[in-house]
Amino acid sequence: MAVFPYRLREDATPTMGLIVLRVDETIEDEFRRYIPPDDARMHVTRVHSGDDLTPSSIAEMERALSGAASLLPPAAKFDVVGYGCTSGAALIGSDEVRANVMAGVTTRHVTDPLSAALAAIADLGLERVGIVSPYVASVAEPLRGAFVAEGITVPATLSFGEEAEARVARIDPASIAEAARSLAGQARLDGIFLSCTNLRTQGILPGLRAELGTPVLSSNQALAWHMRKLAGIAAPG
pLDDT per residue as tens digits for the range 193-235: 999 999 999 999 999 999 999 999 999 999 999 999 999 998 7
Q: What pairs with residue 41 in β-bridges? A: 15
Write down the pTM of the prediction. 0.95
CA of residue 195 relative to chain centroid, distance? 8
**Which fold, 115-219?**
Rossmann fold (3.40.50)
Percentage of the chain surpassing pLDDT 70?
A: 99
**Averaged pLDDT score across all residues of the chain:** 95
Separation between Cα atoms, residue 70 and residue 24, nearest integer Å: 19
Domain limits, the chain = 15-112+222-231, 115-219
CATH ID of 15-112+222-231, from 3.30.930.10, 3.40.50.2020, 1.10.3720.10, 3.40.50.12500 = 3.40.50.12500
Contact partners, residue 96, CB within 8 Å, separation at least 6 = 62
Q: Any idea what the Cα angle at residue 68 is, between residues 232 and 120, rounded to 5°? A: 35
Per-residue pLDDT of the chain (237 residues; tens, 9 = 90+): 999 999 999 888 999 999 999 999 999 999 999 999 999 999 999 999 988 878 888 888 999 999 999 999 999 999 999 999 999 999 999 999 999 999 999 999 999 999 999 999 999 999 999 999 998 888 889 999 999 999 999 999 999 999 889 999 999 999 999 999 999 999 999 999 999 999 999 999 999 999 999 999 999 999 999 999 999 998 764
Separation between Cα atoms, residue 84 and residue 47, nearest integer Å: 10
115-219 and 15-112+222-231 share a CATH fold? yes
CB atoms under 10 Å from CB of 149, counted, come to 9
